[in-house]
């Protein structure tokens, strides 16, 4: 699957990196990568505000800027509902 605006991501360099979720499926916006699971090709991300909240995602999903952005970006409010994305 080819993404419109991929950014460079290599699984060997992911541990400890910071990411901002752009997906409403995730309860928090800011995550850090705990580990890369080579066998399954997934990364385990931990929310910075709730260390017990974790997300497993395929590492290649991090290339999709509509779902993830590298670093801790600003949260954007949804103007229709008044909620943060």
Question: Would you say residue 39 lies in a domain?
Answer: yes
Q: What is the pLDDT of residues 26-76, one digit of tens each?
A: 889 999 999 999 999 999 999 999 999 999 999 999 989 899 999 988 766
Residue 5: the pLDDT is: 46
- Is 2 among the domain residues? no
Q: What is the pTM of this model?
A: 0.74
> Considering its fold, how many domains does the chain have in total?
1
What's the pLDDT score for residue 23? 86
Residue 26: per-residue pLDDT: 86
Q: Is there a domain that residue 7 lies in?
A: no
CATH number at residue 31: 2.30.30
What backbone torsions phi and psi does residue 42 show, to the nearest 5 degrees? -110, 155
> 6 lies in a domain?
no
**Residue 81 placed within a domain:** no
pLDDT confidence band for 79 (50 / 70 / 90): very low
* Local confidence band at 11 (pLDDT 50, 70, 90 cut-offs): confident
Residue 28 resides in a domain:
yes
Residue range(s) defining the domain that contains residue 31: 12-70
Cα distances (angstroms) measured from residue 9 to each of 34, 41, 85: 15, 13, 24
């Amino acid at each position: 699957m080819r993404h419109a605006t991929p950014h460079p991501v290599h699984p060997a360099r992911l541990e400890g990196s910071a990411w901002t979720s752009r997906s409403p499926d995730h309860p928090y916006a800011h995550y850090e990568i705990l580990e890369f699971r080579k066998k399954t090709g997934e990364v385990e991300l931990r929310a910075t505000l709730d260390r017990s909240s974790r997300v497993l995602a395929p590492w290649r999903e991090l290339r999709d800027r509509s779902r993830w952005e590298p670093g801790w970006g600003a949260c954007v409010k949804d103007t229709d509902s008044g909620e943060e994305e």
